[in-house]
Amino acid sequence: MRLKARAKINWTLDIVGQRADGYHLMDMLMQPVTLSDDITLEKADQVTLTTGGTPLLPADERHLAYRAALALKAHTGYPGGAAIHVKKHIPVGAGMGGGSADAAGVLIGLNRLWALNLSLSELEAIGLTLGADVPFCLRGGLTRTTGIGECMENLPCGRCWPLVVVQPCEGLSTKEIFTAYHEGVVDARPDNAAAALALAQGDASALSDAMANVMQPVSEQRRSGIAEAIAALNARGAFAAQMTGSGSAVFGAFTSTDAAKAAFEAAQRLWERTYLCESCMESVVFDNEP
């Protein structure tokens, strides 16, 4: 069984509070993009993991794909295992949910491969124990996500936008950026309702006006390349350019594929980790079935 586990972007990201246990309360609009990792699953006696692609990640319990398989096996009591291979394409430490996407792909794929017949809500509950972005990466679509990532409202999407994604610098620690957020000043907060309406109507101008990511100033202080990449994408005609998640990747959204391709070619000359993709609605896509 082969599938693609897709990355995500944040059209908006706001922090609206913090729980007693330290988890931050979010209010954000997220959507999958066609940039994806490739996952192969085969039935086996035990759960094993191999990795490939760039960057090459450790194939052990530090990898969310491996932990997802073990969590699903423990939850259901499934007696067998699976040989899992993850080929990375999604940048790491980028705010694009690459690890969460891999976990979601494994949960959805093994649910089918092992004939477990768990519902999406059951998979989302397991996913939340692995990471706050995993439930969204299981569901996909355009959502307004609140709480710590477990409350998702499905939203209509008027069109998908061509994107250029750039990771202009080394990755960032999500924990570090959340901690530093409390020490900084928020320059601008998103208007999530207006952004949701703009996405539903395919209105680029209104979307640009409503977007913001409250963590962007903090990340820019630690990685000057973030602001430089955003400026470069704007200069190349993006109607909006912004950091996704806690960084360090940024994306530029374009009104045409030709404009996005031209910006991609220009950005590629400056930054090695540059990707041409588009927003989409499906988070996990099967290449074939057993």
Q: Does the pLDDT at position 53 exceed 80?
A: yes
Give the mean pLDDT of 225-231: 97
Distance separating the N- and C-terminal Cα atoms of the chain: 6
Give the mean pLDDT of 74-100: 96
The single residue of 43, 88, 133, 203 carrying the catalytic annotation is: 133
- Is 133 catalytic? The answer is yes
Report pLDDT digits (tens) over 137-151: 999 999 999 998 899
Give me the pLDDT at residue 290, please. 45
Helix 257-268 crosses helix 224-235 at what angle (to 10 degrees)? 140
Report pLDDT digits (tens) over 178-191: 777 876 667 789 99
Domains and CATH numbers, the chain: 2-155 (3.30.230.10), 162-278 (3.30.70.890)
- Is 8 catalytic? The answer is yes
Report pLDDT digits (tens) over 123-134: 999 999 999 999
Q: Token pair of 121, please?
A: 């809500």
The single residue of 4, 8, 73, 88 carrying the catalytic annotation is: 8
DSSP character at residue 279 = B
Dist CA 138 CA 245 (whole Å): 17
DSSP character at residue 49 = E
- The Cα diameter of the chain in Å comes to 55
Q: What is the pTM of this model?
A: 0.94
Contact (CB, 8 A) for 13 and 26: yes
> Which one of 172-176, 183-187, 214-218, 232-236 scores highest in mean pLDDT?
232-236
